[in-house]
Amino acid sequence: IPFGGFICAFLFFYSTRRWINLTFKQALIFCTMGYSTHALVDACTTYGTMLLWPFSDERIAWNTISIIDPLFTIPVLTLVVFAIIKKNQKYARFALVWIFGYMALGLIQRENAIDMGRMLAEGRGHDIVRIDAKPSFANILVWKIVYETKEKFYVDAVRAGMSPKIFEGNSLFKLDVKRDFAWLDPKSQQARDIKRFSWFSNGYVAVDPVQLNRIVDVRFSTVPNEIKALWAIRLNKDYTSNSHVVYETSRGNIEASFKKLYKMLFL
């Protein structure tokens, strides 16, 4: 942390000293504080971070804010710029209020979404093993619900808040490597790659129902009640013991996906 803070302070100080009246010591303090606390912001996102590394490699994700959320970022940046230009600390204080207020609202919304997901599962007669709620792209109003039963993952979306609504989705059988890829040598590189992908996906992995040689991360999709995964790995049946899987990303039809998300948000 001190080393990273020093690098940031060095770059910031010597690139802005003509316009910002800070000593290098002040820049070092501020940059080190920012560098040491940015992991907390990462932990608030849907992807998370290894917050306790090197003591633990567990990925912590509190799921209170989308990875990209202009409603969070733009007001904060605007207030910080005003604080610098106007040389007035009140704008920085307003930025802090917005940060903590938005995060608190995201936490409330997450709990509301989980409650709605539990009610949906109970209505279906399902026994939940675990359940997660993640904000959809760039908002904390519509949430993706993924819950696990003994055999399957179920994916739905909910609009939490003043006008709650449920958008039912689909389900997939959980990955069983011995069943789904009986031909795969468990000691091969591809088998090790599956374990690594499953770790990054927190175990939310399943076989793509359309392309049976792909394993998808069911947690992330542009349309929250769909299982059109943003990323996946592709296995090759004609492999050598050292062959890696192919990592793939897919955005699909972005325009059509955003239209669906817009309807969930406002209609």
Phi, psi dihedral angles at 252 (to 5 degrees): 65, -150
pLDDT value at residue 84:
84
Q: What is the pTM of this model?
A: 0.89
Beta-strand runs (E) in the chain: 130-135, 142-148, 152-159, 165-173, 205-207, 214-217, 231-234, 246-249
Identify the three-state secondary structure at position 132: strand
pLDDT value at residue 222:
94
pLDDT value at residue 211:
94
The rounded distance, in Å, linking the Cα atoms of 214 and 203 is: 15
pLDDT value at residue 221:
95
The rounded distance, in Å, linking the Cα atoms of 262 and 222 is: 11
- The secondary structure of the chain in percent helix, strand, coil, rounded to multiples of 5, reads 45, 20, 35
Cα–Cα distance list, 235 to 8, 63, 129, 175, 232 (Å): 41, 30, 28, 14, 10
pLDDT value at residue 113:
98
* Series of mean pLDDT values for 10-residue runs along the chain (267 residues): 86 83 87 87 89 86 94 96 90 96 98 98 98 96 98 98 95 98 96 96 95 96 95 94 93 92 95
pLDDT value at residue 225:
98
Secondary structure in 3-state letters for 145-185: EEEECCCEEEEEEEECCCCCEEEEEEEEEECCHHHHCCCCC
pLDDT value at residue 20:
76
The rounded distance, in Å, linking the Cα atoms of 242 and 228 is: 29
Other CB atoms within 10 A of residue 140 CB: 24
110 exposed, middle or buried (CB, 10 Å; 0-12, 13-18, 19+)?
buried
Written as six digits, the tokens of 133 are 């709620």
